[in-house]
Amino acid sequence: PGNCWAFKGHQGQVVIKLPARVHLTAITVQHISKDASPSGTIISAPKDIAVFVSLLGTSGGVDADREEETLLGVFTYNVEKNPTQTFPLKNMLLPRAFSHVKLLVKSNWGNPWYTCIYRVKVHGK
């Protein structure tokens, strides 16, 4: 407990550069369980999350830094379920692989000071 990626407030984002371009199929988000929490609560867990992809900077042109993002899914991390939750992504409309994944946390479960994420896994081919 406490050994997490924490950010101030209830909203935040992270862009993960993948080691290669990937056809994404799912994303896994992990937090600790209530039993593992010293306070007995997990209000710092993320709640509403959106996942985006882009080819950020790979076009090589003048507009390389303005690559458009594509939304692959919006989901809710449920603190009443398993601490490790996998969410399928809507990638059937995207026949290409991507090099960057953005995890946008829109809210948490009530902590006004910070939000914690313990692990993010990206699944794909």
Which two three-digit tokens encode residue 37?
């929490």
Q: Cβ–Cβ contacts within 10 Å for residue 79, how many?
A: 19
44: phi > 0 → left, psi -120 to 50 → alpha, else beta; which?
alpha
pLDDT in tens, 87-107: 998 865 566 788 999 999 999
C-alpha dihedral, 73 to 79 to 82 to 88, nearest 10°: 0
Domain coordinates of the chain in residue numbers?
5-124
**pLDDT for 68:** 77
Amino acid letter, residue 96: R
Specify the 3-state DSSP secondary structure of 102. strand
Is residue 35 within 8 Å of residue 117, measured between CB atoms?
A: no
Q: Report pTM.
A: 0.86
**pLDDT for 114:** 96
Specify the 3-state DSSP secondary structure of 66. helix
Instruction: Give the residue-averaged pLDDT of 104-113.
Output: 97
Architecture of domain 5-124: Sandwich (2.60)
**Selected residue with higher pLDDT from 99 and 86:** 86
